[in-house]
Amino acid sequence: MTYYNLGTSIRCGPMKRILILLWVLIFLGTLIPAEKVSIEEHLYWVKTYGGSDFEVANAVAVAPNGDVIVAGSTASFGGGAQDLWILRLDENGNLKWQKTYGGGDFEVATAIALALNSDIIVAGNTNSSGAGKGDVWVLRFPRMV
């Protein structure tokens, strides 16, 4: 089987752990594995998230409690062609929740940050709303623990 890995984001987390966000392209669809390794190059976990269609992970943030928040897009979930997708994982990579946002066209998250109060701020693009095709989209969510 032929597949390709593409690293899209890296962040430092608690206890000297590094989080590397990858997406793996496998023929017609994609799966998103997030790999968490330590400074000493020990692999802590590898997880895959997604459905039967195309998913992309573009950005990652680490919450003060060690949770990992991933932002990208999904064609497997949501209601549009491709929707903005946010996942919150615990420090072991287990899915705590996931949310999709978008209209009938294409949306994608390209950056994510945590505000001082731990609100989630996402930047990306939308083709479903705004003044026309390809508008900048900025969303702010309560911390959603």
Stretch among 19-28, 30-39, 85-94, 102-111 having the lowest mean pLDDT: 19-28
Is 98 within 8 Å of 110 (Cβ atoms)? no
Residue 5 has pLDDT above 50, yes or no: no
pLDDT at 11: 56
What's the domain count of the chain? Answer: 1
Stretch among 26-30, 34-38, 139-143 having the lowest mean pLDDT: 26-30
Distance CA 76, CA 59 (A): 19
pLDDT at 62: 84
pLDDT level of residue 48 (50, 70, 90 thresholds): confident
pLDDT level of residue 88 (50, 70, 90 thresholds): very high
Phi first, then psi: what are they for 59, rounded to 5°?
-150, 155
- Name every residue whose Cβ is closer than 8 Å to that of residue 17 and which is 6 or more positions away in sequence: 36, 37, 38, 39, 44
113-117 CB contacts, 8 Å cutoff, 24+ apart? 113/61, 114/61, 114/63, 114/69, 115/140, 117/143
Structure token pair of residue 109 = 């998250």
95 lies in which domain range? Answer: 3-141
Query: pTM (2 decimals)?
Result: 0.75
pLDDT tens, position by position, 94-119: 999 999 998 888 899 999 999 999 89
Q: Which domain CATH number covers 65?
A: 2.120.10.30
pLDDT at 15: 56
Burial 14-25 (b: 16+ CB within 10 A, else e): eeebbbbbbbbe
pLDDT tens, position by position, 63-80: 888 888 889 998 888 777
